[in-house]
């Protein structure tokens, strides 16, 4: 569990994080969203004790990062996949971390196998690593201490489809094991598939803290697609019932302001045989973009 309480971080006149409070709970993947410069990386750095807050606090499992006797066994992180010394092999990089943290050698082979770095590749210098291999190595290091909490900043950055799917499944399985998984990503479609819960920030402030499904549904607007052989006959009754009706390219109607049940009743009352009655769910990307348009906090940062 991660507890962020009234967290503020200022860099001179710039407020990167502004009175932020939220809790990241175990057993699910929590996505961290916000436009460039919203304060996501700063928040993650503050959680990991890499920077000190101007005010407020962050606790990991009830303690500050600096109070953790063996941090790697409590929290694993991936902040910058390129932060690996290029002259060393992947194996030596992870083995060095293990030695410095009292973690047995056999765990090094275990995590390298877990992230799909075979022994041959793991013995090569990381300088020649592709971005995907670098991400896998970073994740191996994050998992080394078998931590209950994982914090990953843009883990799928630059990965191919197979790598992205691999990270998605890994994150889900780590959460299913009861771990706390907190990750940021700019890839909305991927975030929608991976995260169960969302924290959205804009200009260092909290804009939303909600389950993914609830976040999407509460901002979706409840639009329904209606198709019928004689759909034209439905328009007037729908509008009289207070719905907003716009033509759909397939010859039906897109109906706002009336749910599918009420539309079905109207169709029956007017003897219109429906061919399709589909509540349309927005994508995370659509909801997020609409929210960006509506939020001054968000917009001001997005055009910065």
Ligand X SMILES: Nc1ncnc2c1ncn2[C@@H]1O[C@H](COP(=O)(O)OP(=O)(O)OP(=O)(O)O)[C@@H](O)[C@H]1O
| Least distance in angstroms from the C-beta of 202 to ligand X | 9
| Least distance in angstroms from the C-beta of 153 to ligand X | 7
Three-class SS of the chain: CEEEEEEEEEECCEEEEEEEEEEECCCEEEEEECCCCCCHHHHHHHHCCCCCCCEEEEEECCECHHHCCCHHHHEEEECCCCCCCCCCEHHHHHHHHHHHCCCCCHHHHHHHHHCCCCHHHHCCEHHHCCHHHHHHHHHHHHHCCCCCEEEEECCCCCCCHHHHHHHHHHHHHHHHCCCEEEEECCCHHHHHHHCCEEEEEECCEEEEEEEHHHHHHHCCCCEEEEEECCCHHHHHHHHHCCCEEEECCCCCEEEECCCHHHHHHHHHHCCCCEEEEEEECCCHHHHHHHHHHHCHHHHHHHCC
The residue from 39, 138, 155, 202 that contacts ligand X (CB under 6 A) is 39
The residue from 13, 14, 128, 240 that contacts ligand X (CB under 6 A) is 14
Beta carbon nearer to ligand X, 34 or 163 = 34
The residue from 42, 121, 135, 194 that contacts ligand X (CB under 6 A) is 42
Question: According to CB under 6 A, which residues from 19 to 38 bind ligand X?
Answer: 34, 36-38
Q: Which stretch binds ligand X (CB under 6 A): 10-18, 75-83, 265-273, 278-286?
A: 10-18
Beta carbon nearer to ligand X, 52 or 246 = 52
* Under 8 Å between Cβ of 5 and 21: yes
| Least distance in angstroms from the C-beta of 57 to ligand X | 18
| Least distance in angstroms from the C-beta of 183 to ligand X | 12
Beta carbon nearer to ligand X, 80 or 169 = 80
The residue from 30, 41, 121, 135 that contacts ligand X (CB under 6 A) is 41
Position 40 contacts ligand X (CB under 6 A): yes
Euclidean distance between CA atoms 102 and 192, whole angstroms: 37
Question: According to CB under 6 A, which residues from 241 to 280 bind ligand X?
Answer: none
Beta carbon nearer to ligand X, 14 or 106 = 14
| Least distance in angstroms from the C-beta of 151 to ligand X | 13
How many C-alpha atoms does 213 have within 13 Å on its Cβ side? 1
Q: Number of residues in contact with ligand X, rule: CB under 6 A?
A: 11
| Least distance in angstroms from the C-beta of 35 to ligand X | 7
| Least distance in angstroms from the C-beta of 56 to ligand X | 15
Question: According to CB under 6 A, which residues from 141 to 200 bind ligand X?
Answer: none
Residues that bind ligand X (CB under 6 A): 11, 14, 16, 34, 36-42
């Amino acid at each position: 569990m991660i507890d962020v309480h009234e967290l503020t971080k200022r860099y001179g006149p710039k407020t990167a994080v502004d009175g932020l409070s939220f809790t990241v709970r175990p057993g699910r993947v929590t996505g961290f969203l916000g436009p460039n410069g919203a304060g996501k990386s700063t928040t993650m750095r503050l959680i990991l004790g890499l920077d000190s807050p101007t005010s407020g606090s962050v606790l990991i499992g009830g303690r500050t990062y600096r109070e953790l006797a063996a941090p790697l066994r409590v929290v694993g992180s991936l902040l910058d996949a390129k932060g690996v010394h290029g002259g060393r092999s992947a194996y030596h990089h992870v083995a060095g971390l293990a030695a410095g943290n009292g973690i047995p050698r056999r765990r090094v082979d275990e995590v390298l196998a877990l992230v799909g770095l075979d022994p041959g590749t793991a013995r090569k210098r990381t300088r020649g690593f592709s971005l995907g291999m670098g991400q896998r190595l970073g994740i191996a290091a994050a998992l080394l201490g078998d931590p209950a909490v994982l914090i990953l900043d843009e883990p799928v950055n630059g990965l191919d489809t197979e790598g992205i799917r691999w990270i998605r499944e890994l994150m889900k399985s780590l959460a299913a094991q009861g771990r706390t998984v907190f990750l940021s990503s700019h890839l909305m479609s991927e975030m929608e598939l991976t995260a169960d819960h969302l924290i959205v920030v804009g200009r260092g402030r909290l804009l939303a803290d909600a389950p993914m499904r609830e976040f999407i549904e509460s901002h979706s607007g409840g639009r329904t697609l209606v198709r019928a052989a004689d759909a034209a006959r439905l328009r007037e009754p729908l509008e009289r019932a207070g719905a907003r009706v716009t033509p759909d390219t397939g010859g039906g109607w897109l109906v706002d302001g009336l749910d599918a049940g009420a539309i079905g009743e109207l169709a029956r009352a007017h003897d219109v045989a429906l061919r399709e009655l589909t509540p349309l769910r927005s994508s995370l990307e659509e909801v997020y973009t609409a929210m960006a348009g509506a939020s001054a906090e968000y917009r001001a940062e997005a055009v910065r």
